[in-house]
Structure 1
């Protein structure tokens, strides 16, 4: 599913190059190796080169002078610096990250903090995740100071009761207040469920889980934010002090 999402994002972003613009040797090799050609690049050294994607990784392809042979791999300069990684980051990972950021912003999280806060952070959290509670607590000074908007997307997979707890919070009269009270109580105060979880609530939890999976995270908290270079950043697990400052900014 992740591979299909990334490929669809590449196509939607206009990053794939028309097959007619690609030499036969490069096209045939990429098709046989299941490589998606993104674009032709102006690589140093004069060899015609193309940027491609294999599974979820970038790859550079070089055409030999006779036009009949292809070399795949990384491009290095005379000092041994990997030049291909810069192409991958600029042309593949950063654009895909921005598309994924749009997807996160189109979701319906539990939103704490002002919409005009200078920083926005998304976190996938399970009601039974102790590190999610720790992260929520660490974030509060920035949220209260108006520096960060914290967006929580509840998922349910750690405990057999995770779905019931998450549903109770999402169906509360004020879900954000219910989540806050639940976190402040250390997981002891839960809204009284109003009957069984609605189909809509179950679908919401499933959508959150699918989105989390597509972003490559398999544990909570799974945290996402944009850095100063407008690149999507991921932190899975409880962030350390440096990571907290990177995502939230200076302490208020």
Structure 2
């Protein structure tokens, strides 16, 4: 989960981890404005250079901030020690509550998606995609060998990247053969688009389904496409925003690593 940092500028702190015994400190005055705005303190913890870390929550989102020993200065951003270690990432992993996407995952089966790949899959993943997203197209190319090996990808069209995203999504979901329409769209990615005249006015129910897909993507906290959702080997729901590294695909798909010869994917190795 990415930490939502909206309270101050990013700061870099070059220092070692504080390991001394830590006693709870009173809420510093510098946090008063955040608390007055509706944020709540989830927990506090010792951080580098005498800083105190604070996990704040609002509306189901969590923020990680730090305060100085005098309680007069707030730091929101990435803490980096003298060895270049991202201390904020360590704090995020250790102290931020882990989201439970079980309820949201149950809604994926009801989403308007396009199933592509194995008819009798060895594994299934879901991917939120925008028709105009170049990284979604690269992910489509990257999973082709995995689909041949038994993966089924359930592509969930959304409309987030411009005025043509909605009609393109409608054209796919309203097609008699959705999988063929989706493949045709991906094979023609980057080429001039032929408007089929399928709009929100002509297909209001399909447009509503695309908007519902976008709302479902938000429930998973996915900030951009592609957004991948799957169950790991322990059955836990996992979420990945953005184009995965190729090395991540075996874990995401639950299948052995497949050979990828597409040079367009080299930068994701």
Q: TM-score, normalised by structure 2?
A: 0.57
Shift in alpha-carbon separation, 1:210–1:54, aligned structure 2, 3 A: closer
2:107 aligns to what? 103
Higher helix share: 1
- Which shifted more, 96-105 or 126-135? 96-105
- Which shifted more, 108-117 or 163-172? 108-117
- Other structure's SS at 2:101 match: helix
The alignment covers a number of residue pairs equal to: 179
- Structure 2: unaligned runs, 5 residues or longer: 1-37, 41-56, 63-90, 259-269
1:184 matches 2:187:
yes
| RMSD across aligned positions (CA) | 3.3
Distance (whole Å) between structure 1 residues aligned to residue 107 and residue 117 of structure 2: 20
- Other structure's SS at 1:160 match: coil
Q: What is the 5 A alignment of 1:143-162?
A: 143-146=147-150, 148-162=151-165
2:217 to 212, 221, 224: 212
1:175 matches 2:178:
yes
> How far is the alpha carbon of 1:199 from its aligned partner?
0.8
Cα deviations across residues 90-142 of structure 1 (Å, max 9, x unaligned)?
A: xxx4xx32222211122231001235412111111111000000001101111
Shift in alpha-carbon separation, 1:115–1:101, aligned structure 2, 3 A: farther
Q: TM-score, normalised by structure 1?
A: 0.61
Shift in alpha-carbon separation, 1:191–1:173, aligned structure 2, 3 A: farther
1:117 aligns to what? 121
Q: What is the 5 A alignment of 1:1-252?
A: 55-56=59-60, 93=99, 96-114=100-118, 116-146=120-150, 148-188=151-191, 193-197=196-200, 198-248=203-253, 249-252=255-258
